[in-house]
Amino acid sequence: MTVRRFGVICGAVCALVIGIVSLVVSGVFDRPTSVAIDKFTQLLAASAAMMSYWRAARGRHGVARHWRLWMAAAMASLVVGLAVWIWGQVFLGVALPSSTLAPIGFMLVPALTLCAILVLAHGGPGNLPGHRSRLVVALDGLIVVGSLFVLTWVSLLESIVRAWATSGPGFATVVAHPAAYLVMLVVLLVSSWTHRSVRQLPVLFIALAGLAQSSSGWAFAYLVSKGATTIPTAADIGFMVCPAMFFLSSIAPSSAARERVGSTRLRAGELLHLLVPYLPMLVTGLFIVVGTATGVRLNPLEIYVGLGVVLLVIARQLLTLIDNVKLLEQLRDSREKLRHQAYHDPLTGVPNRALFRERLDAALAGTSPVVVLFIDVDGFKDVNDNYGHAEGDAVLRIVASRLQACVRPQDVVARLGGDEFGVLVDGYPQPPEEIGKRVLGALDEPHRTANGSHVIRASIGISHRDAFDPTLTADDLIGTADAAMYTAKRLGKGMVVVHGTVEAELT
């Protein structure tokens, strides 16, 4: 289904739900009729969600099929629970809290939905980049749970628990129902921090359904704890919204294709997820501040849990700082690695032409003498043709190593391409000819590899700058050294030719 078509259906469903809720809450009909409309609407929406999930699962394979089958089972449980509830409350008039099979069916819904979320999370395309440690994610979950506990305890949970202590097993299911949805929401939230596959539009509507059901569930539990035998229709708004959200989740287009777009699309979502653990704590803090300002007294349990949440936040911040330091170290290492790869030859490990040119520009900006050697390996083609490219690569590595050994550590040895090397000597203490002869002598020795020994010589062209010259460029020095190298090759190879000497002028 396309996003545009889903948007139209979503708007229509939301408008229908608002209309039905307004009709039920307005008191136009008597209570039995309003309750019947309420419950039969929920049953119809839950049945539609069940059929839609089942149909969607049949046309898919793998994880996409499995999590939808779990959701179809959850919707089937909701349908059974609603059907039994309607039969008991509407037709038989069973008193609240009910001890029929309906609460069991309602309890299975968040449990089966939780299974669907876990299947989707652990069987999806993969985890998000590991920039958040598992301990930080666990702390986020505890912060959310602790904040919600304080909020619900201060507002209504304390009175509910007191009623639970004096009531039978029927009231236990009344409390467990919204609590199960709360657990489902926390698991879904934490899974969305760590698993990209959970960040989909269907899961968003599942979360909205769980939030609506949990809200009305807590209101229902509070009213029952106060001894209510009939529940106001306004308390059922969340129950009416929940099946509609489940239905929308069953037809919502999956965003799996969007996950393959660049990671930059997730930055806004990442920021939201970083803020989410603090939002419940902020709401809870405001609630407590307003409550204490109006005369509400906190008991020791509320104080201790609140302090525990604050300590969890402090621990989370410390771990986040540690994670950030590790991230900076990884980023620095990655930058150095990328820079090395960009400026060094992967075969020999020496600098490449780009870095050689950069160092030559820097040397020409100074005032010290500069010498450039352009070296062409003679006989390298024969090694490649007769022994293979692997043997030729081994010879090139030996050449690079010998060149580095016969110059100073501050000098630059670079592979300029193929069998051509360059040497930059900044501030040379010897005449250029002496440097060239030393390099030539180092390369005259046989090159021994694992497969044999090869006699490799070189033709070397040298250009140099004795004093600072602002008109001289790197291209000038490299070009004249290259020309001198070709002169050496024409004169018989295995020679050193310095640009500007008699040999260079004769050719």
- Convert 14-74 into a string of H (helix), E (strand) and C (coil): HHHHHHHHHHHHCCCCCHHHHHHHHHHHHHHHHHHHHHHHHHHHHCCCCHHHHHHHHHHHH
> Closest by alpha carbon to 499, among 412, 370, 366?
370
pLDDT classification of 257: cutoffs 50, 70, 90: very low
Overall average pLDDT of the 139-151 stretch: 63
User: What pLDDT is recorded for position 494?
Assistant: 83
User: What pLDDT is recorded for position 356?
Assistant: 93
User: What pLDDT is recorded for position 235?
Assistant: 81
- pLDDT tens for each residue of 464-486: 988 888 888 999 999 999 999 99
Summary mean pLDDT of the chain: 79
Q: Cα–Cα distance between 371 and 427 in angstroms, integer? A: 8
304 or 270: whose pLDDT is higher?
A: 304
User: What pLDDT is recorded for position 103?
Assistant: 74
Tell me the domain boundaries of the chain: 3-259+274-332, 353-506
Q: Cα–Cα distance between 397 and 350 in angstroms, integer? A: 9
User: What pLDDT is recorded for position 400?
Assistant: 92
Q: What is the share, in percent, of the chain residues with pLDDT greater than 70? A: 71
Overall average pLDDT of the 441-456 stretch: 81
Tokens coding 237: 């708004």
Residues 277-303 as b or e (16 or more Cβ within 10 Å = b): bbebbeebbebbeeeeeeeeebeeebe
Overall average pLDDT of the 365-390 stretch: 88
506 or 57: whose pLDDT is higher?
A: 57
Q: Judge whether residue 407 has pLDDT over 70.
A: yes
List all residues 6 or more positions away from 305 whose beta carbon is below 8 Å from its beta carbon.
Answer: 146, 149, 150, 153
Q: Judge whether residue 110 has pLDDT over 70.
A: yes
User: What pLDDT is recorded for position 339?
Assistant: 87
Residues 200-236 as b or e (16 or more Cβ within 10 Å = b): bbbbbbbbbbbbbbbbbbbbbbbbbbeeeeebebebb
360 or 226: whose pLDDT is higher?
A: 360
pLDDT classification of 274: cutoffs 50, 70, 90: low
Q: Judge whether residue 149 has pLDDT over 80.
A: no
List all residues 6 or more positions away from 377 whose beta carbon is below 8 Å from its beta carbon.
Answer: 395, 396, 399, 419, 420, 421, 443, 456, 457, 458
User: What pLDDT is recorded for position 233?
Assistant: 77
Residues 29-53 as b or e (16 or more Cβ within 10 Å = b): eeeeebbbbbbebbbebbbbbbbbb
- pLDDT tens for each residue of 165-195: 445 555 455 667 777 887 788 778 777 766 7
Overall average pLDDT of the 229-244 stretch: 84
pLDDT classification of 150: cutoffs 50, 70, 90: low
Regarding the domain delimited by 353-506, which CATH topology (the fold level of the hierarchy) does it fall under? Alpha-Beta Plaits (3.30.70)
User: What pLDDT is recorded for position 134?
Assistant: 61
- pLDDT tens for each residue of 3-24: 888 899 999 999 999 999 898 8
Residue 211 contacts residue 241 (beta carbons within 8 Å) = no
Residue 100 contacts residue 94 (beta carbons within 8 Å) = yes
pLDDT classification of 130: cutoffs 50, 70, 90: very low
- pLDDT tens for each residue of 279-297: 666 666 666 665 666 665 6
- pLDDT tens for each residue of 32-75: 888 888 889 999 999 999 999 999 998 888 888 899 999 999 99
pLDDT classification of 264: cutoffs 50, 70, 90: very low
Lowest-pLDDT range of 114-118, 182-186, 305-309? 305-309
User: What pLDDT is recorded for position 64?
Assistant: 86
